[in-house]
């Protein structure tokens, strides 16, 4: 939308291109389209989750419960599949998104109706949802033997040369792009992040809009619950443990301001891809995967330092104005 945002995304594109270029110099196979498509497919779930998280962050809130929501929903749909293998997969996806949305709505109601800060609410539900994952499964897990072939196979099917999982990510990107740039709801999400009190005067119901944002992020987490358990063919209590911070990291690297109102679909996508490429590249260049965490941390710090420079408010610059006049 604005030159500043574009500039920020170009910087990230350049950083990613440089990284891929450097790796390709030693390991040309890494940069082949086929491999890049695989990297994208491996990152798809993170991309989708980052888009959901972004919607919440835009409204000056945060959803720390996404990874736990994912685990709980993933467990519930895996149990559904294990006990009722005849339930068609589209219905499973609807179930996942509905459960996720209900869990998100629980966060949203507490933020909207009781005015509890989002960080406190989702800190609570982070532990509650994960605890419930253990409870609903009776402390067990669901693995490949108990999942139907369709349940596991759907996202692995190929469509126009890309796995279906990648198409989920593409669809999410398209959906959020239209939502955020071309619908009144999307613009309201930005507006309440930029200036909540002005939003009230503009006739935007700030609480209700935040509620919708949480329902969206919940539905997204639910969808990813299905995608995650079918991809890794395991539903367990520890699924995606601690992943909420990776999702937020992707958003931060993508230039989404934690203070709300600033961020774009392109940024969330690039932030997630940045992390995805690092984790795919480490084994290729022969670095221990134990380096991944420290590299993400450094990337987050670098991103926040760079973004802060761009956002730093300018003074009035009285003299320059005088000289120009």
Partner 1 sequence: MHTAAALRAGELEPGTAVAQPLLSLSGVSKSFPGVRALHDVSLSLYPGQVTALIGENGAGKSTLVKILTGIYRPDEGEIRVSGDAVRLQGAEHAFRHGITAIHQETVLFDDLSVAENVYLGHAPRTRIGLIDWRAMRRQAADVLKRMGAGHIDADTRLRDLGIANKHLVAVARAMSIDARIVIMDEPTAALSAKEIGELFDLVAFLKGEGKAILFISHKFDEIYRIADRFTVFRDGEMVGEGMVADTSQNDIVRMMVGRAVDHIFPERQPNIGGPLLTVDGLSHPTEFDRVSFELRQGEILGFYGLVGAGRSEVMQAIAGMTGTSAGSITLAGHRIAPRTAADSIDAGIVYVPEERGRQGVVIGMPIFKNVSLPSLARTSKSGVLRLAEEFRLARTFTERLDLRASSLSQDVGTLSGGNQQKVVIAKWLATEPKLIILDEPTKGIDIGSKAAVHAFMAELVEQGLSVIMVSSELPEILGMSDRVVVMREGRVAATFDNAGLDAETLVRAAAGIVA
Partner 2 sequence: MSTVETARRRIPDRLDTPLKGTLLSWEMLLVAVALGIFVTNSLASPYFLNPWSLSDMTFNFTEKGLIALAMALLIISGEIDLSVAATIALASTLMGMALQSGADTPTLVAIGILTGLACGAVNGALVTGLGLPSIVVTIGTMSLFRGIAYIILGDQAYKGYPAGFAFFGQGYVWWVVSFELVLFAAAAVAFWFLLHRTSFGRRVFAIGNNPVAAQFSGVRVNRVKFVLFCLTGLMAGIASVLLTSRLGSTRPSIAQGYELEVITMVVLGGVSILGGAGSIVGVVLAALIMGMVTFGLGLLNVPGIVMSIFIGLLLILVIALPIVWRRFFGRAM
Binding site for partner 1 (CB under 8 A): 1-2, 4, 178, 181-184, 187-188, 190-191, 194-195, 197-205, 261-262, 315-322, 325
- CB closer to partner 2 out of 201 and 290: 290
Closest by alpha carbon to 155, among 32, 37, 44? 44
Contact partner, 290, from partner 1, partner 2, none, Cβ < 5-8 Å per class: partner 2
Backbone region of residue 240 per phi and psi (left: phi > 0; alpha: psi in -120 to 50; beta: other values) = left
Spatial neighbors of 272 by CB under 8 A, at least 6 apart, are: 43, 46, 47, 49, 50, 250, 254
Closest by alpha carbon to 217, among 96, 89, 105? 105
* Residue 238: CB minimum distance to partner 2, A: 9
- CB closer to partner 1 out of 294 and 318: 318
Tokens of 201: 């005067």
* Residue 178: CB minimum distance to partner 2, A: 28
d(CA 277, CA 39): 6
Spatial neighbors of 25 by CB under 8 A, at least 6 apart, are: none
Contact partner, 202, from partner 2, partner 1, none, Cβ < 5-8 Å per class: partner 1
* Residue 2: CB minimum distance to partner 1, A: 5
The DSSP secondary structure of 65-131, one letter per residue, reads: THHHHHHHHHHHHHHHHHH-TTS-HHHHHHHHHHHHHHHHHHHHHHHHHS---HHHHHHHHHHHHHH
- CB closer to partner 2 out of 52 and 163: 52
- CB closer to partner 2 out of 47 and 249: 249
- Residues in contact with partner 2 by CB under 8 A are 62, 64, 110, 114-117, 119-121, 123-128, 130-132, 134-135, 139, 237, 242, 245, 248-249, 252, 258-259, 288, 290-298, 300-301, 304-305, 308, 312
- CB closer to partner 1 out of 182 and 309: 182
Contact partner, 140, from partner 2, partner 1, none, Cβ < 5-8 Å per class: none
Contact partner, 191, from partner 1, partner 2, none, Cβ < 5-8 Å per class: partner 1
Spatial neighbors of 119 by CB under 8 A, at least 6 apart, are: 61, 62, 64
Q: How many residues does the chain have?
A: 325
- CB closer to partner 1 out of 147 and 216: 216
Closest by alpha carbon to 63, among 133, 114, 121, 129? 121
d(CA 324, CA 55): 41
Contact partner, 194, from partner 2, partner 1, none, Cβ < 5-8 Å per class: partner 1
- CB closer to partner 2 out of 10 and 120: 120
Contact partner, 319, from partner 1, partner 2, none, Cβ < 5-8 Å per class: partner 1
* Residue 82: CB minimum distance to partner 2, A: 21
Q: What is the DSSP letter of 291?
A: G
Contact partner, 318, from partner 1, partner 2, none, Cβ < 5-8 Å per class: partner 1
> Helices 66-83 and 206-232, interaxial angle, to 10°?
50
Contact partner, 2, from partner 2, partner 1, none, Cβ < 5-8 Å per class: partner 1
* Residue 69: CB minimum distance to partner 1, A: 29
- CB closer to partner 1 out of 181 and 298: 181
d(CA 26, CA 244): 33
* Residue 87: CB minimum distance to partner 2, A: 28
């Amino acid at each position: 939308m604005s030159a500043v945002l574009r500039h920020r995304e170009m910087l990230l594109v350049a950083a990613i291109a440089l990284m891929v270029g450097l790796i390709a110099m030693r390991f040309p196979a890494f940069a082949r389209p086929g491999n890049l498509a695989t990297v994208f497919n491996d990152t798809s779930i993170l991309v989708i989750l980052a888009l959901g998280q972004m919607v919440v962050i835009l409204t000056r809130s945060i959803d720390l419960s996404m990874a736990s929501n994912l685990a709980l929903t993933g467990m519930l749909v895996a149990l559904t599949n294990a006990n009722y293998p005849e339930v068609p997969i589209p219905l499973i996806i609807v179930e996942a998104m509905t459960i996720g949305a209900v869990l998100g709505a629980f966060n949203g109601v507490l933020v909207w109706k009781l005015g509890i800060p989002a960080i406190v609410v989702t800190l609570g539900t982070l532990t509650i949802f994960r605890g419930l994952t253990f409870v609903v499964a009776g402390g067990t897990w669901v693995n490949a033997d108990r999942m139907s072939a369709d349940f596991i196979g759907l996202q692995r099917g190929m469509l126009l040369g890309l796995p279906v999982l990648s198409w989920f990510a593409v669809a999410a990107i398209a959906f959020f792009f239209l939502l955020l740039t071309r619908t009144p709801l999307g613009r309201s999400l930005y507006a309440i992040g930029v200036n909540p009190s002005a939003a009230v005067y503009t006739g935007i119901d700030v609480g209700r809009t935040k509620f919708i944002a949480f329902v969206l992020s919940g539905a997204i987490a639910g969808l990813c619950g299905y995608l995650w358990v079918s991809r890794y063919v395991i539903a367990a209590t520890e699924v995606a443990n601690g992943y909420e911070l990776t999702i937020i990291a992707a958003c931060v690297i993508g230039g989404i301001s934690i203070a709300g109102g600033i961020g774009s679909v392109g940024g969330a996508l690039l932030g997630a891809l940045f992390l995805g490429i690092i984790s795919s590249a480490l084994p290729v260049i022969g670095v221990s995967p134990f380096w991944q965490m420290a590299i993400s941390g450094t990337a987050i710090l670098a991103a926040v330092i760079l973004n802060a420079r761009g956002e730093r408010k300018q003074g009035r610059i009285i003299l320059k104005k005088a000289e120009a006049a």
